[in-house]
Structure 1
Amino acid sequence: MSHLRSSGRWAGGLIALTVTAASTLAATAAVAGPAAAQGATPAADAGAVQAGQSCTASDLGKRHPFIKSTEVAPTITHFKGWYVTAGSTGYQNVTTNTQTTISVSVGLNGQIKGDFAVQTLGTVGAMLGLNVQLNYSSTSSESTSVSWNFNDPGYYGVYKGTKKVTGTYGSLNCNRVQQGDGSWALKWIEGADTGSYTTYTTLEEGAVRCEDKVPANSIMRKAQGLLDCGSATATAKHPAGPVPSAKADQAKRDADNAATAAKAAQSMKATRAARPATRAALDCQPGAYKIDVPGKVLNWSAPLLANDGIRLRESNWTSAHLDNWRLCNVTENNGVIEASLWNWGNGGCATIPADIANLEQAYLTTANCGEDDLQRFYIYRDVPGSSKIGLQNKYTGSMLGHDRYADGELIRQFSSGRQDGTGTYTLTGV
């Protein structure tokens, strides 16, 4: 039987985690909620935030990931049927064809630039005990070669493969919670944001025959399935070299079709995001607010110029109500408010620009109000009596914050929020 090996070219950028026998052959693991996800690896997650734990007002502008579900599937990325005759054993270089291309992604962020995405993938790897990619990468979409020592004649499947890891995640956010005695407290809750992720383990390469005994649900077993064992192709005599395989060819066609469909879906999603928002009537609450830095004098102001962003401005800086905001189309679910932020001065709604929405630290600006999740925000609140809040964009899932306490500083999105507490603001009535 042939043995698989790891390709050193694909090992870079991985965090070394202990791989157990159970996790090596893991197929599907589903986690019911944040407590179960965090409990999967107690030693790794001993200091992690968990739902129901207390938080403080400085945490209102932060978020932490938890894993809702995971699925591990052996996946063949490259394959070639190869026949070895008695006179052609020994080392041979076999060019394989692409079967599947896997790209790392978390939610909208295919580049894995934000802390939240890295934390999400790191949590997945720790839960499963697998070495997974934590930064953006993809398996090769080109034909690649495998150099292999064929000791015995026979019908082989020469392959490269990996474990594709997919699933869903949620976020834990700090929000006020009413307790059994009627009092209020700040606690980490399951926030409104959810999404999906994809990553993969170290790439392996090898060769396998129909008669080899291999572990069920392994990469090698997946490659053996492409050999079409029992068919005339597998049992007939062939000259040394490549062997046509209808099953492998169909798998390649299926992979190409899936890749085309995924690319079309992504293009359609991008088109929808870039499409100008249609103007919509807003149902705004009567009160107007400044959005201040807690305990300090700076507050948000809408842009004076069309292409400018929303900035921190000194409280004595006023210009036709550009620092006044109304909450519109307000809904509430499990204590979390969702609203559009309408600017009294320019009549626009706060938004993350569509063309940079997937970027860490994309700036906040205003645009014509419309039916657009880029203009919708979740508002996490301090206990009654305090006007401190944190804000999260519905579409991107990122929290709003700023780099510096300074006049003119842009308000930006941060995937995990600002860990120094500068993502907490005050909603001050005017």
Structure 2
Amino acid sequence: MSHLRSSGRWARGLVALTVTAASTLAAITAVAGPAGAAGHPKPAAAAQAEPGGACTSADLGTRHPYIKSSEVTPTITHFKGWYVTAGSTGTQTVNTSVQTTISVSVGLTGNVEGSFAVETLGKVGASLGLNVQVSYTSTSSTSTSVTWNFGSPGYYGLYKGTKKVTGTYGSLNCNRVQQGDGSWALKWTAGPDTGSYTTFTTLEEGAVRCEDKVPANSIMAKAQGLLDCGSASATAQHPAGPVPSAKADRAKQDADSAATAARAAQGMKATQAARPAALNCQPAVYRIEVPGKPLNWSAPLLANDGVRLRESNFFSAHLDNWRLCNVTENNGVIEASLWNWGNGGCATIPANIANQEQAYLTTASCGEDDLQRFYIYRDVPGSSKIGVQNKYTGSMLGHDRYADGELIRQYSSGRQDGTGTYALTAV
């Protein structure tokens, strides 16, 4: 996630955040009209979240996945070449070696965390007509046995395998869209965040010989390919038992090399420190409020605390005042850093818990870090209502209950009851 830039230049079309608070109020945070009335209309159901479909202001703080691409690849997870002589037919149990390990994951977290990931994998299975894993699991990373009844002598490949399913997804977010007649409406649109997923189908096991006729592009065909049928090892006479398979060994080595490279890349990314950034903040100052309610986002005084719902008063010390910094706009979606006037920090999801559902929002020293960047989805002009999404995690911001001192947290699909919709109000 290294696409962040800190130029701070206004996009030419960004009329919603002008130099004066008055014009900003007119474009983004004017007194709520009919579309931004206090209270939350019933959110659109997940099944209705389709590109171009209507949504409501309560949906501004939610998102739903759509599948952009899918690839199904027969994959052997365990394999062993085995020679059966005339005197060794019948049922045998053979220990197979690991060829590859498949783990279910969605997005950056490396696992399946939250309702958005589950919904994503559910849509993958539905779109392909396959029964895929929709919760975190993985194929075995240790050798396992296959028990098989060998009816005739020959050179066999004992295997366990599955269909590995990979691809990319995008998210549908509720945002304002200008119609052809110049009017505005709330629609489900493709949000800027995308990611990749991995899952797999039910495991199968079996035995295959070189002379067997098997369906093309099947798990069995993949196992047959590992037999290296044209090699001297495959055609030579052997005593009963394991047969060396150079092709299978190469496949295992390739998988191990790829895994090592992936771990190295991940480690390099984790050790890259965020560089200090010079923020270009707009002069307008805002409160991020619960619509129609007195509580709003207030930054913490203590470093290990989080952003909480508080009521503004004389003692707020500007902790409830926020500025939008390094602002850009793309397809009607604002991207910005949220700088707090009271403690001088930028809103962020802590890196050590960023992969967790309901991780809390806090502030930290401002830097070029996508954990400190947020997408802002807006209601139609005349309403101050917004939804806020973290750029790095893709999760929406919301609160579990309306109460003084309640933490602001991230929810992968947002708060479906509308409590992730806030009002950006100029002060």
- Fold shared by both chains (TM-score > 0.5): yes
1:356 paired with 2:384, answer no
Local SS of the residue matching 2:280: coil
1:316-331 superposed matches below 5 A: 316=313, 318-331=315-328
Aligned twin of 1:213: 213
Report how far residue 258 of structure 1 moved: 1.2
- The 5 A counterparts of 1:47-196 are 47-196=47-196
Structure 2 gap ranges (5+): 1-44
Distance in 1, matches of 2:275 and 2:332, equals: 29
**RCO higher in 1 or 2 (8 Å CA, sep ≥ 6)?**
2
Q: 1:11-26 residue pairs with structure 2 within 5 A?
A: none
Deviation above 6 Å: which 4+ runs of structure 1? none
1:302 matched to 2:307: no
- Alignment partner, residue 264 of structure 1: 264
Shift of the 46–326 alpha-carbon distance from structure 1 to 2, 3 Å rule, reads closer
Paired residues of 1:110 and 1:136 also in contact (CA < 8 A):
no
CA distance in 1, matches of 2:46, 2:258: 40
Could you tell me how far 1:120 is from its partner in structure 2? 0.2
The residue number in structure 1 matching 2:404 is 407
Q: 1:387 is matched with which residue: 368, 380, 384?
A: 384
Aligned in 2, Cα 1:385/1:256: closer, same or farther, shift over 3 Å?
A: same
Once the two structures are superposed, residues 108-155 of structure 1 have per-residue CA deviations (whole angstroms, 9 ceiling, x without a partner) of: 223312000000000001111111111101111111111111111000
**Deviation at residue 317 of structure 1 after TM alignment:** 6.1
After TM superposition, give the deviation of residue 175 of structure 1 in Å.
0.2
Question: Structure 2: how far apart are the matches of 1:317 and 1:250?
Answer: 70
- The separation in 2 between residues aligned to 1:190 and 1:348, in whole angstroms, is 30
CA distance in 2, matches of 1:318, 1:60: 31
| More moved, 231-240 vs 415-424 | 231-240
Aligned length: 383
Q: Distance in 1 between matches of 2:315 and 2:292?
A: 19
Match of 2:333 among 333, 336, 340: 336
- Call closer, same or farther: CA 1:46–1:339 in 2, change over 3 Å: closer
Corresponding residue SS for 2:316: coil
State the alpha-carbon separation in 1 of the partners of residues 270 and 152 from structure 2.
51
Find the counterpart in structure 2 of residue 204 from structure 1.
204
Question: Are 1:374 and 2:351 an aligned pair?
Answer: no
CA distance in 2, matches of 1:269, 1:419: 33
Q: Distance in 1 between matches of 2:208 and 2:314?
A: 73
1:417 partner letter: G
Gaps spanning 5+ residues in structure 1: where? 1-44
Q: 1:215 to 1:283 in 2, by over 3 A?
A: same
Distance 2:204 2:119 in 1: 25
Provide the rounded CA distance (Å) in 1 between the counterparts of 2:69 and 2:53.
22
Q: Is the 8 A contact 2:46 2:64 kept in 1?
A: no
- Quote the Cα distance in structure 1 between the aligned partners of 2:381 and 2:52: 19
| Contact kept in structure 2, 1:278 and 1:369, CA below 8 Å | no
Secondary structure of the corresponding residue to residue 253 of structure 1: helix
Answer yes or no: is the 8 Å Cα contact 2:113–2:355 preserved in 1. no
Is 1:254 aligned to 2:254, yes or no?
A: yes
Post-superposition offset of 1:323: 0.5
**Shift, 1:202, TM fit:** 0.6
Query: Given the two structures, how large is their TM-score scaled by the length of structure 1?
Result: 0.88
Q: CA deviation at 1:92?
A: 0.7
What is the Cα deviation at residue 284 of structure 1?
0.6
1:225-283 deviations in whole A, cap 9, x for unaligned? Answer: 000011111111110000011111111111111111222223333334xx4x3321111
Give the Cα–Cα distance (whole angstroms) in 1 for the partners of residues 196 and 417 of structure 2.
27
Quote the RMSD (CA, aligned, Å): 1.2
CA shift, 1:46, in A, is 10
Mapped to 2, the partners of 1:75 and 1:293 lie a distance apart of 50
